[in-house]
């Protein structure tokens, strides 16, 4: 399966600032996704990152708050903008290609003070 | 809204015992998958069962699927301390690639 590198692995940020999370895959993949996992909760899909076009956002998530880029088939970024303590979560990148199941990166643990 | 609901929310057993976790869902699915998450890290894919399958095995894992009851179970046999983790079921529906996750079961295996 693809090897997924997510950076940073964790960060502590001040409210009102923004952080960009990177997801790098060691091979070309068809689909890339971004999920949020709030403390003690399950995973919720934020958006599907589309190569060369705007991401497809799920209900409750908007581009102004979570801008996503996917310039090629191996790389994507998620920005968490104007952060507040409610944004403290684990953010996970996942990929899917061919007939394989989705595989996940190790996640970014984000705390906002 | 969450598609899957795991049961129990938490499970504590002794090493060597079997652990059974259940997942229920609400709508028709293409497949159901189980993932493991160790201590807030990334998810590891365990097993996928398609909607036309009833049972699947992988090592010490056994998954069943009952589409008439919209439920699945994950059995871990001869558990080990290293099995301590949270386990999530996830479903996909229709032509969508999106996964909808359940709330998870936190399993603790005591040495």
Q: Name A37's Cβ contacts closer than 8 Å, sequence gap at least 6.
A: A43, A44, A89, A90, A91, A92, A107
Percent of chain B whose predicted confidence (pLDDT) is above 70: 96
Distance CA(B13)–CA(B69), nearest Å, equals: 27
* Model pLDDT, residue B6: 79
Retrieve residue B26's tokens: 């609400």
How far does the CA of residue A56 sit from the closest CA of chain B (Å)? 11
Q: Sign of torsion, CA B96 A40 A90 B21?
A: negative
Q: Do B62 and B77 contact (CB within 8 A), yes or no?
A: yes
pLDDT in tens, B17-30: 999 999 999 989 98
pLDDT in tens, A24-38: 999 999 999 999 999
Residue B4 has pLDDT above 80, yes or no: no
Q: Is the N-terminal amide bond of B8 cis, ω within 30° of 0?
A: yes
Confidence of residue A59 (pLDDT cuts 50, 70, 90): very high
Name every residue in B having a CB less than 8 A away from some CB of A. 2, 33, 35, 40-45, 48, 88, 90, 97-104
Q: Name A4's Cβ contacts closer than 8 Å, sequence gap at least 6.
A: A23, A24, A25, A26, A93, A94, A95, A103, A104, A105, A106, B42
| Averaged pLDDT, B48-73 | 96
Among B46, B99, B103, most A C-beta atoms within 10 A, so best to mutate, is B99
CA atoms within 13 A on the CB side of B3: 24
Check residue A100 and report its DSSP letter. P
């Amino acid at each position: 399966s693809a090897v997924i590198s997510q950076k940073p692995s964790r960060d502590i940020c001040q409210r009102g600032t923004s952080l960009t999370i990177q997801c790098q895959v060691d091979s070309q993949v068809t689909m890339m996704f971004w999920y949020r996992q709030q403390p003690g909760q399950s995973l919720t899909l934020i958006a599907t990152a589309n190569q060369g076009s705007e991401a497809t956002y799920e209900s409750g998530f908007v581009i102004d708050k979570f801008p996503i880029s996917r310039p090629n088939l191996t790389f994507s970024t998620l920005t968490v903008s104007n952060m507040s303590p409610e944004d403290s979560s684990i953010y996970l990148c996942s990929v899917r290609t061919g007939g394989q199941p989705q595989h996940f990166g190790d996640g970014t643990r984000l705390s906002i003070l | 809204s969450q598609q899957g609901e795991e049961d129990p929310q938490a499970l504590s057993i002794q090493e060597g015992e079997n652990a059974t976790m259940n997942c229920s869902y609400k709508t028709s699915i293409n497949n159901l998958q189980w993932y493991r998450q160790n201590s807030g890290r990334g998810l590891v894919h365990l097993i996928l069962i398609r909607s036309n399958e009833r049972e699947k095995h992988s090592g010490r894992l056994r998954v069943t699927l009952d589409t008439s009851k919209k439920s699945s179970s994950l059995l871990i046999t001869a558990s080990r301390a290293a099995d301590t983790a949270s386990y999530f079921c996830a479903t996909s529906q229709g032509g969508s690639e999106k996964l909808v996750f359940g709330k998870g079961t936190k399993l603790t295996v005591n040495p």
